[in-house]
Chains A and B, each alone.
Chain A
Amino acid sequence: DQQVKQNSPSLSVQEGRISILNCDYTNSMFDYFLWYKKYPAEGPTFLISISSIKDKNEDGRFTVFLNKSAKHLSLHIVPSQPGDSAVYFCAARSGGGSEKLVFGKGTKLTVNP
């Protein structure tokens, strides 16, 4: 029973265009949502996060949007660059005093020059 779902295994976009990565969740008790980026042969690296009490957080080219009523979040990358090509994981914190993160399966983003 997957609590965090990334339904698109892969996404391909042109350099300079917008990349939109989507994530759905089922547990309304999640209190923080995070995005991690992973290059081959490396561990995931933190990208951006958002509290469940907010609906948008922006950091440079990266913006995360949260729609609590739909239990949906998305990561926007504008403009996309070839160096953004990586696997992106959506994660959610369980809340209730635990720091446990629940991860989705990831979406592989390819940005073509």
Chain B
Amino acid sequence: GAGVSQSPRYKVTKRGQDVALRCDPISGHVSLYWYRQALGQGPEFLTYFNYEAQQDKSGLPNDRFSAERPEGSISTLTIQRTEQRDSAMYRCASSLRIGQGNEKLFFGSGTQLSVL
């Protein structure tokens, strides 16, 4: 497809398990972003990449969260030792160019993570 693709669409896991969320950005898009959205809230920044370089990871809540984009395309957000408070919609977005402020972000449909 032409849009940002995220998998899985839904992920249910038990507390303490590790999860890996995948994002396939729009082909050719340079920048890739991860956001987390709780119910009734706006998206909350986690981290972003320009090509394969992680530019800002200030939004990652703690060291259980990590992200990579080794070849400058697909990205994986990994959460180790999941906790119930990690339950949320995880959204990936990409943009064509390195941000110029008004650069459009194209969001995927998200991965809904539920930690039991």
Q: Does A34 contact B (CB under 8 A)?
A: yes
- If the complex has contacts A43-B91, A45-B107, A46-B105, are A101 and B45 also in contact, measured as CB distance less than 8 A? yes
Please tell me which one of the listed residues B55, B101, B108 contacts residue A32 in the complex, with CB atoms under 8 A apart: B101
A63 to B110, CA, bound (A): 29
- If the complex has contacts A41-B109, A45-B107, are A104 and B93 also in contact, measured as CB distance less than 8 A? no
Report whether B59 and A42 are in contact in the complex, using a CB–CB cutoff of 8 Å.
no
Which residues of chain A from 1 to 59 have a CB within 8 Å of any chain B CB? 4, 6, 31-32, 34, 36, 41-46, 49-51
Contact-residue size bin, chain A (C-beta under 8 Å from the other chain):
20 to 34
Please tell me which one of the listed residues B4, B43, B56, B91 contacts residue A99 in the complex, with CB atoms under 8 A apart: B56
Which residues of chain A from 65 to 89 have a CB within 8 Å of any chain B CB? 89
**Closest residue of A by beta carbon distance from B110:** A43
Report whether B48 and A49 are in contact in the complex, using a CB–CB cutoff of 8 Å.
no
Q: Does B44 contact A (CB under 8 A)?
A: yes
Q: Which residues of B contact A105 (CB under 8 A)?
A: 40-42
A93 to B35, CA, bound (A): 14
Q: Does B104 contact A (CB under 8 A)?
A: yes
Report whether B56 and A98 are in contact in the complex, using a CB–CB cutoff of 8 Å.
yes
A42 to B106, CA, bound (A): 11
Minimum distance in angstroms from A93 CB to a CB of chain B: 6
Report whether B107 and A43 are in contact in the complex, using a CB–CB cutoff of 8 Å.
yes
Minimum distance in angstroms from B8 CB to a CB of chain A: 15
A41 to B110, CA, bound (A): 9
B interface, CB within 8 angstroms of A? 4, 31, 33, 35, 40-45, 48, 55-56, 58-59, 91, 93, 98-99, 101-110
5 pairs, A vs B, C-beta closer than 8 Å: A44-B107, A51-B101, A99-B99, A101-B33, A105-B40
State the 5 A-B residue pairs at the shortest beta-carbon distance, nearest first.
A43-B107, A103-B42, A32-B101, A99-B99, A49-B102
